[in-house]
Amino acid sequence: MSIKLYNSLTNKVESFIPVDDKFVRMYNCGPTVYGRVHIGNIRSFLMADLLKRFLNLEGYQVRQAMNITDVGHMTSDSDEGEDKLQVAADKEKLDPWKIADKYKQLFIDDLNKLNIDDADVYPRATQHINEMIEVIKKLIDNGYAYVSGGNVYFDITKFPEYGKLSGNVLEKLQSQERAVYDPYKRNPQDFVLWFSHSKYKNHIMNWDSPWGEGYPGWHIECSAMALKYLTDAFNKHFDSEKSTTIDIHTGGEDNKFPHHECEIAQSEGATGQKFVNYWMHVTHLLVEGDKMSKSLNNIYTLPDILNQGYKPEAVRYVLLTTHYRQKLNFTFKNLQASQNAIDRLQELIFNLKHIGNESGDFEAEKFAEKVKDDFIKELENDLNIAGAIGVLFEAVKTINKSLTNIGQQEADILLDMLKDVDKVLGVLDFSEQAPLEKEIQELIEQRDRARDSKDFATADKIRDNLKKRGIHLIDTPEGTIWKREQ
């Protein structure tokens, strides 16, 4: 079965066929670094990580670029409003570059804590102004953009396919009449590529350009950086004929319009070829059944959650295990359930590592292959992570029932199967002594010493204390194993 993905561009589940066999170009919309990312943002980055890890497991080489927006993102999703970096800089009394440096590093720290694999490149908008200018010049030359009042605008009437991703075609936008008046625009729906004259005269982040000193609009950065890092369009200068269609572009559903729609128009206007083959959008996240909002005080960052005693792998698990096109309702009850699920898996890993039998009659090789095949088949179906998790825990149930029939060779095969599964999930610890395993093993050894010395009171106390924590000890002829009580 081939990998099938839901393509937001066609609104269909399609077979995934990369431009180049076994090589995938993937662009992910990254953060605007004016503050800490919240768990809704993080879910989008985790889904990109899940996709990349699965493609790697299936034998694809993935070239991944994730942008860092550190200029030009307006406080609204259109051209009006102040630059978010400028607003944050004024609030924290720092210059915008220091704000960007601060929150970019905190973003990378969050990714590391959540075991999100590094992208190949994290290009920053402020370091690619020249590339943006070159793409804008090409758009002017191709008749898609115009200079007016010192600013440069994209004329969406020149791009008949505008709206093919979001459904917001020109006629629909005109009928809504929501565009903010800008005397320099030919059409109210046109969008800014470059600001030389905006109503914010004290904007600190400015660069020289052929149209005057100014700064880029929000949308142009992703076009320029995607073309630079995922195609051969940039060497010393922009050469549109060397561009290549990118395989996958991901982002949150709020990015679909206007940002991704404008990316398509800019990129295809500049290169004359299809920008991206497969668009994937992650659905919004709810918190305890409500939308995240400042008024409800339910916008959580990763430190907000970790400071309450939860583990990063539990956060990763709870954000991953609902399908990316379904609304995820984040609750602390579900977060605890995720930690319990990981503990069950760590318990199994511990028991497989400490199998007392030298040999067994469990058909581990055949079983492990079937589990991996079924796990992969679920993910091949548009990243059906819930189905894949279901396959995993059915396997856990079967293995737990068969522990007394498993020898060391079979245990090693099953551990390798779990490691393959975790290449995608990224939540398990296979180190020689994972923290929970180490603590329980030390207590088991203390209990064994107490029993050997006839100190049954101490042995019983250790057993009872573990039982209070939901850990059940089982004495077998081959040694003591443990299970987490359900």
Q: Which residues are annotated as a binding site for Zn(2+)?
A: 29, 222, 259, 263
Known binding-site residues equal 29, 222, 259, 263, 294
| Rounded Cα–Cα distance for residues 34 and 92 (Å) | 10
Instruction: In whole angstroms, give the CA distance from residue 170 to residue 71.
Output: 27
For 167, which DSSP code?
S
Residue pair 6/280 in contact by the 8 Å Cβ criterion: yes
Strands annotated E in 8-120? 12-15, 23-28, 61-66
The two tokens of residue 146 are: 């115009």
| Dist CA 347 CA 392 (whole Å) | 14
Give the helix/strand (H/E) hosting 223.
helix 220-230
Q: Which residues are paired to 479 by β-bridges?
A: 476
- Which residue shows structure tokens 């879910």? 43
User: Would you say 347 and 483 are in contact if contact means Cβ atoms under 8 Å apart?
Assistant: yes
Beta bridge partners of 246: 276
* Residue 189 token pair: 């729906």
- Terminal Cα distance for the chain, rounded: 36
Cα distance between residue 91 and residue 35, in whole Å: 11
Q: 217: which 2 tokens?
A: 């609009």
**Pairing relationship of beta strands 246-252 and 276-282 according to DSSP bridges:** parallel
Angle between helices 84-92 and 96-113 (to 10 degrees): 100
- Contacts of residue 75, Cβ cutoff 8 Å, sequence gap at least 6: 81, 82, 83, 84, 87
Instruction: Report whether 255 contacts 165 (CB < 8 A).
Output: no
Burial track 94-127 (b if 16+ CB lie within 10 A, e otherwise): eebeebbebbbebbeebbebbbbeebeebbbbbe
Reduce the DSSP state of residue 6 to 3 states and report it.
strand
Residue 336 amino acid letter: Q
What are the structure tokens assigned to 415, written together? 């551990």
